[in-house]
Structure 1
Amino acid sequence: MSILETTASILKLMVERQGAIRISDVIHHLGMPKSTASRVMSQLESYGYLEKDEIHGTFLPGPLIMSASHLVNRQLTLNDHVDAALRSLCERTGYTGYISMLDNQEILVLRVIHGRQSLPVVTWPGSRSPAWGTSTGRALLARFTDTQLHDFFASPQVVSQLTGSQQDVSMLVATVARTRDAGYATAVNESVADTASVSCAVGDPATHDAVAFCLSFPQQLATPEELQRIATLLKEAALTIAGKTGDTQVSSPL
């Protein structure tokens, strides 16, 4: 391998292991001779790509990598990352994309990206809906702890929304739990008639922001196979964004 391929493999190994690595890890996982591994790690440390913990003998990304990462994170917000990913998915699928956030127990639409497939109804930026009744809302609620979720459903605004709606709180909590396990949420002919959507949520631990993004399409296209295909695409995008923001809540396997 070239030095660039070797460096990339070592950094990928850190990402896969979600932490510091030792020279023995490089030897074992990359099949590198001990002498070569020691030399390469020493060189990468000297150039600032790696930083060594002398006490534990482990390596983490060095000051050069961290400085470059900080520069990118400072220039690109969570919404920037999500917008770029969603635009690519809208172009790929032809479906309409939405970026939304939770605001006062409601889901607030921030942005709409129009696709080639026409929708019966388009939800415009600034629109609000009960969070429990949308796929984007449930994707964001799935990031809550059990205590936070209990407080959400006990809040006066949500209690008022649920009054007379024939919605059962225990069933809604179970739906959010399934969303948490699956890593995505779906809605078919719910808050928007004749429309289906699939949503994922991502966050930025540094700013404590979180947004949901979804693809929306006509209900007649919402076969189980299509829902799963779109869910896979969205989860791949969410994992990529989470890798850039450091969001550890997006970690479920595809």
Structure 2
Amino acid sequence: MSTLENAMDVLKLVARLQRDITVTDVVTELEWPKSSVSRTLSKMAEFGFLERDPVTRAYRPGEVIMDASYYLRASRSAASLLEDELEALVTETGYASYINVLDGAESMVVQMRIGTGRVLQAYSPVGTRAPAYASSMGRAILARLTDREVMQIVDARFDADYGNAPRSREDLLARLATIRAQGWAQSRGEFVPQVAGISAAVVDSGNRQIYGIGIALPLQDLTDELATQFGHRVRASALKVGRRIGDAYWLDFADAP
């Protein structure tokens, strides 16, 4: 493994753990020999990629990384990066694409781009709301919370008949577990009948805002094969933005075909 690869793995570990790291952390998490870890961390500190606390002897991002991070955050926000991906999703799929946020127990549209080249579009203007548990966008966002946080938000809201939406807390939590594992969510004719959705979500590590990004399309158009294809495509957008903004989930997410 090259020196650059080692440094990349160390920086990813810092981002994932969200704290200063020790030699023991690197040995345990990355399963490297202690001698190799000590040498790598020392070199990274020497060139400004890491900084060592004089008291705890733990390592944190150094001046070089902090300067680069400041430039990145000043030049591109999570929202603007997602808008770029929104345009790409519309161009590549032809279907309407959205960015949503969580507002109480509801998912709310904050950005939308109408699709191209399709006779029928799933159109929901900015400001449209839906129960978060009853859409792919809402569940993608909820999946970035803990189960306890989800239950505090959703509470006992499973009495409405929203097609294939979860009808119990056990069903919802099981679906969220699947979303966390595969990186994307889907819905088929739930809060909005005859409309399907494919979504993923990112968390801005600066302000902890969760953004959902996804595609909406007529249910009749969504075959199982297309659902998987679009799921991977939407996930790729979230992964790209998530890694750019330091989202720990996406930094640690294993690339998949």
Does TM, scored on the shorter chain, surpass 0.5? Answer: yes
**In structure 1, C-alpha distance between the alignment counterparts of 2:8 and 2:137, rounded to whole Å:** 31
User: Does 1:14 pair with 2:13?
Assistant: no
Deviation at 1:241, TM superposition (A): 1.6
Map of 2:138 onto structure 1 = 137
User: Secondary structure of 1:102's partner?
Assistant: strand
After TM superposition, the structure 1 stretch with the greater mean CA deviation from structure 2, 234-243 or 167-176, is 167-176
- 1:98 and 1:111 in contact (8 A); partners too: yes
Equivalent pairs counted in the alignment come to 236
| Partner in structure 2 of residue 168 of structure 1 | 167
Deviation at 1:61, TM superposition (A): 5.0
Residues 9, 61 of structure 1: alpha-carbon distance in 2 compared, 3 angstrom cutoff: farther
Say if 1:73 and 1:45 are closer, same or farther in 2 by CA, change over 3 A: same
Q: Can you give the 5+ residue segments of structure 2 that lack an aligned partner in the other structure?
A: 16-20, 28-35
The answer (yes or no) to whether the contact 2:184–2:200 under 8 Å persists in 1 is yes
Counterpart residue number, 1:100: 100
CA RMSD, Structure 1 to Structure 2 (Å): 3.5
Alignment correspondent of 2:30: none
Relative to structure 1, is the Cα distance of residues 16 and 97 closer, same or farther in structure 2, using a 3 angstrom cutoff?
same
The offset of 1:18, in angstroms, is 5.0
Unaligned runs of 5+ residues in structure 1 are: 1-5, 26-33
Deviation (angstroms), 1:135? 0.5
Distance 2:248 2:230 in 1: 22
Normalising by the residue count of structure 1, what TM-score does the alignment of the two structures yield?
0.75
Asked if structure 1 preserves the Cα contact closer than 8 Å seen for 2:122 and 2:216, the reply is no
* 2: CA distance, partners of 1:163 / 1:217: 23
Structure number with bigger Rg = 1
Q: Which residue of 2 aligns with 1:149?
A: 150
Decide whether aligned partners of structure 1 residues 83 and 164 sit closer, same or farther in structure 2, where only a CA change above 3 A counts: closer
Give the direction of change, closer, same or farther, for the CA distance of 1:204–1:16 in structure 2 (3 Å limit).
Answer: closer
Q: Which amino acid aligns with 2:200?
A: C
| 1:79 and 2:79 correspond | yes
Q: Percent identity?
A: 25
Structure 1 pair 207/219, CA: closer, same or farther in 2 (3 Å)?
Answer: same
Cα gap change, 1:131/1:9 in structure 2, threshold over 3 Å: closer, same or farther? same
Separation in 2, partners of 1:113, 1:144: 27
Post-superposition CA distance 1:1-36 (Å, at most 9, x none)? xxxxx78545434355557798xx9xxxxxxxx9xx
Q: How far apart, CA to CA, are the structure 2 residues paired with 1:164 and 1:54? A: 59
Deviation at 1:210, TM superposition (A): 0.7
Deviations 1:74-105 (A, max 9, x none): 33222112111222222222222100011021
Does 1:121 find its partner at 2:117? no
Indicate how the Cα distance of structure 1 residues 198 and 100 shifts in structure 2: closer, same or farther if over 3 A, else same: same
